[in-house]
Structure 1
Amino acid sequence: MKPSMLLCSAILSLATGWAQAAVPAHYAVFEMDAQGQARPMFYTQVQLDDPQRDLRHLPRSEGGLERVEYRVSRAGVRSAQVYEAPVPQFLRAEFALDPERGHGRVELHRPMRDPHRAFVVRVPLAVADAIELAGDGAAKVAQRFDFRELAIRSAQLPLAASARKAMPLAIDDQADGAKAANSGNRLDILVLGDGYTSAEQAAFANHAEVMKAGLFNISPYKDYQNFVNWQTGFVASSQSGADHPPYQAGCTGTSCCADVEARNDPRAGAFVNTAFDATFCTNQLHRALTTRSSKVMAAAAGYPNWDKVMVMVNDPVYGGTGGAVSTISAHTIAPSIAIHEFGHSVTGLADEYDSAYPGFPACSDAGGNVPCEANVTNQTNASLVKWRSWFTPGLPIPTPAGTAGTGLFQGARYLTSGMYRPVDACMMRALEHPFCPVCRQEYVLKLYRGGFGSPAAGIDLIEPGTESPSPAAAVAYARGTTKRFSAALLRPSIGTVAVQWYLDGTAIPGATSATYDFRQDTATPATRTLELRVTDKTAFVSAAMAGGLLQHSRSWSIRVNAARVQPAQALAGSP
């Protein structure tokens, strides 16, 4: 076998067994400089539930993402496959127009680059001992990092000391204290805190619980809460709160703020020492509250199976940003902004408001290489609009503003014309509204389709690794005996799934539970096929747009052999 095939075989064999046991892996955090070169900031070894977590390609429709391409190698054998790590180009600075009222239109502020662009690579030890970041043009050259070398000098890496203070994390797995459910088959959200001293752990727990309650109190998040592992990790800071640079006209540094809104900051001039360097007025926008994402990712190694990381900052002033790490203050309406941001970072939805965003990558559903996000389109032919199955009968297409129902409303994705949204007002446009049917559907499809992290192929209604017996090999069966087949099922928090067993392609009457007892007294048929099908019966997904995503199945091949020997027969045949 060729060396490259051996490397692929190692990856495949690890992936096959991920549901049964975690595997040791490299966990390395890098920061990108202005020239696009990567600098290692932190290294440790962790246990991964899904060894293929970061060995994947990213969705190409996700706007505003930079992608760092890399190959892995082991013992000098370089992978043929190219993988990608996400590095957001911009921070999102989106706020309610009237934060004191708590609701209203969302306003996008000017685009801003993350001053500390960071990414993490998680690769099983058995797969790689080095990583090679691809070059990109004359301004960027290929870089190679040896994980063994990083391990040796891990204590000298820039974030080694600060990350040690943050680990191990105090993990609050579930509300009842139970261990987190199968991480390899869930959306894993990790919530960390910044600006909480060691004496303020209870305050962090309360703030995180408010955030959780707000998120899972609306559809579709509450309907699929069982599909999410919500983890909280406490990280103690030396001081409380965040930095509040004071107002100074014309300021261009980080010790002051040129935004006139900083004049009204009740904490102006406060500078504190926190674990993740939380600060207001990033890029001279007062409400732009950020943390240093590389420090957050280093601390997150305490729970390495995360898909998305959020940071709660112990500061009552309204602010936050979205990006590689979503950062939110402890202001009372922070959960609303977090829900909106979750629509971007997890579901991949576009903003539906029309305030200008110069330079944002264009999209088109009427031709072009980059299709638009699920909830926006430039297609006006009613028969070609991707959400046409959700159209309210009788509505004109395009649809006049102020009309109730689902249609085609002009103004979305930072354009006042030429771009359309499904309803007049939705959570992706204004905070006081629920998600529209199209946005709600996309979240459900994203859970099943994958693309949010791990599992890369989406969440499975049949828990991987729980099948008994294993369907990986033919099952030897002695006729005349009873053989139980079973699997653990994942069900939505609200809603139902249909369960049906099939024998040789025919539904078995009454076989609608997670277990089935197979029995055959005759010698023929000698080969049988038993199948379990589980289907999500949600009304959130249009049948015309579901494809096969809502149905999952397992099949067992049964080999019928000799009849069972009865005890009396055994005695009669004894010498």
Structure 2
Amino acid sequence: MRLSTLLCAAALSLAATCVHAAVPAHYVVFEMDAQGRAEPVFYTQVQLNDPQRDLRGRQPAERGIERVEYRVSRDGAKSAQVFEAQVPQFLRAEFAADPEHGDGRIELHRPLRDPHRAFVVRVPLDAADAIEFGGGAAKAAQRFDLRELAIRAAQLPLAASARGAMPLAAPLSGDAQASAVKAANSGNRLDILVLGDGYTSAEQTTFANHAATLKTALFNVSPYKDYQNFVNWQTGFVASSQSGADHPPYQAGCTGTSCCADTAARTDPRAGTFVNTALDATFCTSQIHRLLTTRSSKVMAAAAGFPDWDKILVTVNDPVYGGAGGSYATISAHTSAALIAIHEFGHSFHGLADEYDSPYPGFPACSDLGGSAPCEANVTNQTNASLVKWRSWFTPGLPIPTPAGTSGTGLFQGARYLSSGMYRPVDNTCLMRALGNSFCPVCRQEYVLKLYRGGFGSPAAGIDLIEPGTEAPSPATAVSYARGSTRRFSATLLQPSLGAVAVQWYLDGVAISGATAASYDFRQDAATPATRTLELRVTDQTAFVKAAMAGNLLQHSRTWTIRVGAAPVALAPNAAAPVARLAVSP
């Protein structure tokens, strides 16, 4: 089957998302070398539920993301469209100032370049047998024959060490068991995959419990808990030879990986411990003791066991406080480490900026006053109250800009690593300013909008309140209808975990009184009108999003064209149905 045969019918509503059977696909992990060239380190074949998952054009990306452009080809025919992979260039090192005593003030370390920048290309076998990364002024184009990569997969650098994540094999119960079940309807969900490092084959239950604790922490925060139904949460177990993570011991002036120059390492209870783990978990990355990282290419290779992932989280079987952000969040098993993952998810998924004002010299500037680099959703340098992008959230009566110490949503100075000239929505109560807080209204809204806007993976156009593929009959073609009969039209709806959706059916653009369920029984006795238009509209009624900032993202619809035909032939009681006879010439 060619990729072109997988495209949705043009008659489908633009709000609809294509639904496909799983197809075999190439899954290739690339690492970027020091010169910015891609090198394949892992290859396997997988079954993709969304065959176009990575075949997207340019997508919005947060700052610090490197765009790697490529084309695919098959039988020598190169794709006209240019696709891209997004590769985070930096590791984020943001921690609670004093996690042992609940001090959530964020201790910032300047983001550091990821020494193992990696990305994945997932493309159906029938769509490509080669991939070519675009060249530029500084580097030549690179072409890789995917069939050749498949042949020498066992010789690639991570072939021996990469251990694909598998569903948990040990008997489980409760949340741990639920999270190990294969995800449903991946094409209309945010797919989060949780992997573990430093868990031996005998510690599957420990990993399951740690993953369940992380899930509880994440979905205890609004708006994550309100939209938990929109998320597929999967756990993939990766066995390590030994437990825990590396703990390089303190050594003043250290510049290598076998020691740690950060004075915080002096109090590390596990200092000097080195272990063999599947994903290379280690503390003191780049000489920052709390910066706990795993090797991104190995993580992405392990994720091939669940190839439809959108976002990855990694939990490490180690009790010392630490973590990191970047391509994915990594956290230790410390009780306060989950807050790192939640904050980092605000960066990697919502696309939010930090709201604290600790200096970060050289961080790329932004401006909402014009130019090509507008600021993130939760920060701005705009002080004209009528032009501030979150003005719909202003608490009535607050002065703009807003004095420190004031309650409510306004315009507070100090954000995005600057103490002046940059503003945030609330004073000191947002999770993007201090760990342990809740999200402010603007940050909370951005999560909901991102779910519906898409751009995070699959579905590319965002999550649909009408489950794609459940429409009956299909709206892709006109529906033939015999007048005088009753025809049911229906679809399965996706409801937020908390909150409600409004449902309304329309006939020829007019709301049908009382038609507010997921199905509607259509009946027409007259011969005219001969063509009818039936529409189902579903609207998220959340209070988390201001209507003026939502556009049409909160409303989804399906439209059917109905062709009214002759009434069915009525038979007399006990009369036999007419029999078609074949006339034969003598």
Describe the shift of the 1:457–1:488 C-alpha distance in structure 2 as closer, same or farther (beyond 3 A).
same
Residue number in structure 1 paired with 2:382: 379
Measure, in 1, the Cα distance between the counterparts of 2:577 and 2:119.
72
Measure, in 2, the Cα distance between the counterparts of 1:239 and 1:29.
25
Contact in 1 for aligned 2:23/2:124 (Cα 8 Å) = yes
Residue number in structure 1 paired with 2:305: 302
Q: Secondary structure at the match of 2:178?
A: coil
Measure, in 2, the Cα distance between the counterparts of 1:11 and 1:469.
20
Residue number in structure 2 paired with 1:79: 79
Query: Residue type of the partner of 1:159?
Result: L
Residue number in structure 2 paired with 1:123: 123
Contact in 2 for aligned 1:169/1:233 (Cα 8 Å) = yes
Query: Residue type of the partner of 2:7?
Result: L
> Which of 319, 324, 337 is 1:316 aligned to?
319
Contact in 2 for aligned 1:391/1:407 (Cα 8 Å) = yes
Q: Secondary structure at the match of 1:438?
A: helix
Q: Secondary structure at the match of 2:468?
A: coil
Residue number in structure 2 paired with 1:96: 96
Write the deviation string for residues 5-44 of structure 1: whole angstroms up to 9, x where unpaired.
x988456369999514112111100000010011101111
Measure, in 1, the Cα distance between the counterparts of 2:36 and 2:151.
25
Describe the shift of the 1:173–1:196 C-alpha distance in structure 2 as closer, same or farther (beyond 3 A).
closer
> Which of 482, 499, 507 is 1:503 aligned to?
507
Measure, in 1, the Cα distance between the counterparts of 2:6 and 2:496.
31
The TM-score with structure 1 as length reference comes to 0.95
Measure, in 2, the Cα distance between the counterparts of 1:222 and 1:70.
37
- Displacement after TM superposition at 1:433 (Å): 1.9
> Which of 531, 536, 543 is 1:532 aligned to?
536
Residue number in structure 2 paired with 1:3: none
Describe the shift of the 1:230–1:76 C-alpha distance in structure 2 as closer, same or farther (beyond 3 A).
same
Contact in 1 for aligned 2:120/2:300 (Cα 8 Å) = yes
Residue number in structure 1 paired with 2:244: 241
Residue number in structure 1 paired with 2:158: 159
Deviates more, 1:222-231 or 1:101-110: 101-110
Contact in 2 for aligned 1:354/1:414 (Cα 8 Å) = yes
Describe the shift of the 1:514–1:177 C-alpha distance in structure 2 as closer, same or farther (beyond 3 A).
farther
Residue number in structure 2 paired with 1:493: 497
Contact in 1 for aligned 2:7/2:18 (Cα 8 Å) = no
Deviates more, 1:13-22 or 1:287-296: 13-22
The answer to whether residue 342 in structure 2 is matched with residue 339 in structure 1 is yes
> Which of 556, 560, 569 is 2:560 aligned to?
556
Contact in 1 for aligned 2:168/2:204 (Cα 8 Å) = no
Measure, in 2, the Cα distance between the counterparts of 1:127 and 1:265.
51
The answer to whether residue 244 in structure 2 is matched with residue 276 in structure 1 is no
Aligned-residue CA RMSD (Å): 2.0
Describe the shift of the 1:105–1:125 C-alpha distance in structure 2 as closer, same or farther (beyond 3 A).
same
Measure, in 2, the Cα distance between the counterparts of 1:7 and 1:521.
44
Aligned length: 568
Deviates more, 1:287-296 or 1:559-568: 559-568
Deviates more, 1:286-295 or 1:56-65: 56-65
Measure, in 2, the Cα distance between the counterparts of 1:173 and 1:359.
43
Measure, in 2, the Cα distance between the counterparts of 1:10 and 1:158.
35
Describe the shift of the 1:445–1:238 C-alpha distance in structure 2 as closer, same or farther (beyond 3 A).
same
Measure, in 2, the Cα distance between the counterparts of 1:437 and 1:496.
19
Measure, in 1, the Cα distance between the counterparts of 2:578 and 2:370.
78
Measure, in 2, the Cα distance between the counterparts of 1:54 and 1:125.
13
Write the deviation string for residues 267-318 of structure 1: whole angstroms up to 9, x where unpaired.
1111000000000111111111100010010010000000001110000111
Residue number in structure 2 paired with 1:267: 270
Residue number in structure 2 paired with 1:444: 448
Contact in 2 for aligned 1:130/1:145 (Cα 8 Å) = yes
Describe the shift of the 1:294–1:14 C-alpha distance in structure 2 as closer, same or farther (beyond 3 A).
farther
Describe the shift of the 1:261–1:167 C-alpha distance in structure 2 as closer, same or farther (beyond 3 A).
closer
Matches within 5 A, 1:62-77: 62-77=62-77
Write the deviation string for residues 251-277 of structure 1: whole angstroms up to 9, x where unpaired.
111111111111111111110000000
Contact in 2 for aligned 1:375/1:422 (Cα 8 Å) = yes
Matches within 5 A, 1:150-549: 150-163=149-162, 165-170=163-168, 175=178, 179-425=182-428, 426-549=430-553
Residue number in structure 1 paired with 2:172: none
Query: Residue type of the partner of 1:475?
Result: V
Measure, in 1, the Cα distance between the counterparts of 2:558 and 2:166.
38
Write the deviation string for residues 497-538 of structure 1: whole angstroms up to 9, x where unpaired.
000111100111111111111111111111000100000000
Contact in 2 for aligned 1:53/1:453 (Cα 8 Å) = yes
Write the deviation string for residues 226-249 of structure 1: whole angstroms up to 9, x where unpaired.
000000011110000000111111
Matches within 5 A, 1:131-146: 131-138=131-138, 140-146=139-145
Measure, in 2, the Cα distance between the counterparts of 1:572 and 1:128.
55
Contact in 2 for aligned 1:535/1:551 (Cα 8 Å) = yes
Q: Secondary structure at the match of 1:310?
A: strand
The TM-score with structure 2 as length reference comes to 0.94
Identity %: 78
Describe the shift of the 1:573–1:29 C-alpha distance in structure 2 as closer, same or farther (beyond 3 A).
closer
